[in-house]
Amino acid sequence: HVGAAIVYSGGGCDQMWKADIPTLYYALSECNSTIGAKVQLAATPLLARQMDSTVYTDILPPGINTRALRNYQKTDDTFTVGIISTQSKYPDQLIAYILDNLPNDILVCMTTLDTYKDKSPVPEAIARKKQGGVIYNAPLKFEAGINYLYRCDLLLHEGPATEYYSRTVIESMALGRPVICMPGNVADQFTDRFMIKVQTYPEMLEKILELRKDKPKYKTYADDCQLRAAWEDISLNNERFRQALRMVGV
């Protein structure tokens, strides 16, 4: 749009703020407080607190149609644990631990990569798991979140310390799939009612087995997750996004 610029965190266009044009900056998983945009939008309150307090700032989650995701039902009764990630955030150690320690009658739905980093324990862990268990491969691609999350009963999440927002976590919650999360900024976005927080991999394994057995507790977490995800539904935020765009002439 002539006369305005939109800068997206992590999009490789951080130099655009130097132009003398109205600029909107959206911070999703990280924040550059030096952008100097006229309008600042942040996906979470934690990110908003890092921004320039003298500039118009609003908290606006990404546009996710969370209510529609309630209709995605599981297609089988096999208890399935999901580890859906991207290459840059790939939790190698977590995946290897889960593959080596999760009972073989629990299905693992995990993101697989074409190329793993040097000394990654994942390829050998996959080979060991396939000797007695089953893995459902979720190849790395844009739509992996929805295509594979709905097959799961739980999502395991461990992102880098600098990660402030995880779309996959919100999509999992919208589907009614509880999330077990390691410490970090993503976990800090939620109270214990909506997020199962653990400190270690053995504790994560313990929670998986507990929720598999305790169906009422699982149902409570699943319902609360859907409630929390509904707060971020795109229908609740469209007008605020339009208002921000109008402020920069779009």
pTM value is 0.85
In this prediction, residue 46 carries a pLDDT of: 86
**Structure tokens given for 169:** 């976590």
- Residues 221, 196: contact at Cβ < 8 Å? yes
pLDDT tens digits, residue range 191-212? 999 999 999 999 999 999 999 9
Mapped onto helix, strand or coil, the DSSP state of residue 81 is: strand
Q: Report the share of the chain in percent with pLDDT over 90.
A: 41
Q: Which residues lie closer than 8 Å to 51 by C-beta, 6 or more apart? A: 27, 31, 33, 40, 42, 57
pLDDT at 117 over 60: yes
* Tally of CA atoms within 13 A in the half-sphere of 191 that contains its CB: 4
Q: What is the mean pLDDT of residues 6-10?
A: 56
Strands 135-139 and 154-157: unpaired
Q: What is the mean pLDDT of residues 96-116?
A: 92
Quick one: which of 66, 57, 5 has its CA closest to 31? 57
Top-ranked range on mean pLDDT: pick from 85-89, 185-189, 199-203: 199-203
In this prediction, residue 241 carries a pLDDT of: 85
180 versus 249: the higher-pLDDT residue is 180
CA–CA dist 123, 144 (Å, integer)? 20
